[in-house]
Structures are given as C-alpha cells and as structure tokens.
Chains A and B, each alone.
Chain A
Amino acid sequence: GNSVTQMEGPVTLSEEAFLTINCTYTATGYPSLFWYVQYPGEGLQLLLKATKADDKGSNKGFEATYRKETTSFHLEKGSVQVSDSAVYFCALSSSNTGKLIFGQGTTLQVKP
C-alpha cells in the first residue's frame, strides 16, 4: 500500500542554519505530494505541494522538489528562524478521493 516515511526527529538547529527534512514515499501511480506544518497549539496548515514529477513547491522560504526517480520530496530551507519551530508532516494523495497519507511528522526546534 501507499506510505510515507520521514526522518526521525526532533531536529534541533540554530537560527540561520540550513534545514533538510527527508521524506520518501511508496505509491502506485502518480501521487500529489504535500508538506504540512503544525505550529504549537494550531491545526495543520499546507506549507507547499507538488503534483507531478520534477515540480518544485515553495512557500515562506521552504522548498521541496518532487523526485520520482528517488521517490522523494525532501523539505529544505536555507536559513531557519525561531518562528519555524513546529512539526512538519510529509503527505501524499494518490487518488481523486482526497485522502491523505501522512508521514510520522518531524519536530523542528530552532534555537536563537
């Protein structure tokens, strides 16, 4: 079945450091890929998405490229801020049902 695997957390970085959170997936067909972010005490918010191979999603300085050859969708940011501290979820949707399959989430802690 379809699945999403994220790197284990927590990830602790200093402000302005480079961030990479790895995400790989297993799916039949051509899924859409997403990164959602959950800030403390808030609901999940869509951070970025990509719907086909080689697409790059970007938002708020975050980027992720849909790599079909490596079945990956790694999240990157060149310079993190304390306000980026949150839990990040990689997810896929592989049908027109709208169902999302989530990775286990990665907690990011950015220290000043």
Chain B
Amino acid sequence: GAVVSQHPSWVICKSGTSVKIECRSLDFQATTMFWYRQFPKQSLMLMATSNEGSKATYEQGVEKDKFLINHASLTLSTLTVTSAHPEDSSFYICSAPSAGTDTQYFGPGTRLTVL
C-alpha cells in the first residue's frame, strides 16, 4: 500500500525556537495532506489541510501564524511550529489521501517535546 513518512520521528527543542516537521508521500502524489495533533491518550484533532500550490486551510482555533504549513511539492508538506512553548509538546501526525479514493494514509508521527 501507499507509504507516508515523517521526519524527524522525535525532536526536543528549547522554548522559543522553531521546529520543522516534514511529511512525504513516498510512492504517490498528494495534492492535499492533513496535519493532526494527538495528545496522550486522546484522539487525533485535525489542525489544517495542506494544499499544494495554495494556502493551507486551518481548523477553527488553530493559530496559522504559529503553525506554518507549506506544501512545497506533490509529495512534500512541512509543518513549522514557530516560537514553540511547552504547551506545544504533542504528537504530530500527517496523512495523505490516495487519489480517487477516500482512504487516508498516515505517517508514523513526530513526537515534539518543548523544554
């Protein structure tokens, strides 16, 4: 099946710094990718829809200036957490739909810890 990768798998950073997370579709093209956030023992919350060639669409309550999304190509979307703070510590997951289907393929996630 289709594969989605994320890099890095985990990152620790100091408060106030920015962190970039990459999401790649390895064997298919994705004009749309989704970014989720998962807190411990909780569900996935959709943060934004990443659109290749246009601006991302953010869900209500998500700060677009804090979580910068760039869909640089048909196989790459990046999420940059700017001026990170401890409350941004979470598990960030991306997904991409396979063209012509309603099946999403998920990346393995990135664990962000902000000290």
Interface size class of B (residues with CB under 8 A): 20 to 34
Secondary structure at the B interface, as helix, strand, loop or mixed, is strand
Cβ of B29 within 8 Å of any chain A Cβ, yes or no, is: no
Beta-carbon contact of B104 and A100 below 8 Å: yes
Q: How many residues of A contact B (CB 8 A)?
A: 21
- Stretch from A14-22, A60-68, A73-81, A91-99 contacting the other chain: A91-99
- Is B32 in the interface zone, CB < 8 Å from A? yes
Contact of A98 (CB < 8 Å), options: B4, B41, B44, B102 = B102
B34 contacts A100, CB within 8 Å? yes
Bitwise, A17-39 to B at CB < 8 A (1) or not (0) is 00000000000000010001000
Known: A43-B106, A43-B109, A44-B106. A98 touches B97 (CB 8 A): yes
Does B79 sit within 8 A of A, measured CB to CB?
no
Docked pose: A104 CA to B41 CA in angstroms: 8
The CA of A98 and the CA of B43, in the complex, are separated in Å by 18
Which B residues have a C-beta under 8 Å from some C-beta of A? 4, 32, 34, 41-46, 49, 93, 95, 97, 102-109
